[in-house]
Amino acid sequence: MSLIPAQDVHPTYPSMCHVCGKVLRSGDSAIVHDGRVHTNADNGTEYGAIGLHTECATILAMRLIADVMKHKGAEHEPRVVLSLSRIRKAILED
């Protein structure tokens, strides 16, 4: 994931924001994330990039964090909140 400063234009950069769907203009600062975007039925993987306005990236990050905090987890999968609490406690004990 990387920050693309305004006026940095490259033909491989995404042209639309993944969150709001608006055009990423050359004057916009944007976040670009490269990675797996599609897995085919024959297990072939396609790589690509998504682009986001910096404001949209912030909104997406907050939504993802909220979803993770709501996740209850199963018996074999401890809640993220509890895991983070244990990590914080261990760090403070050092």
Q: Give the per-residue pLDDT at 83.
A: 76
Q: Give the per-residue pLDDT at 68.
A: 77
DSSP string, 39-82: E-TTS-EEEEEEEEEHHHHHHHHHHHHHHHHH----TTS--HHH
Q: Give the per-residue pLDDT at 2.
A: 64
Given pLDDT bands bounded at 50, 70 and 90, which one contains residue 58?
very high
Domain boundaries, the chain: 2-93
Encode pLDDT of 1-53 as tens digits.
566 666 666 677 788 999 999 998 878 888 888 887 777 777 777 888 889 99
pTM tops 0.85 = no
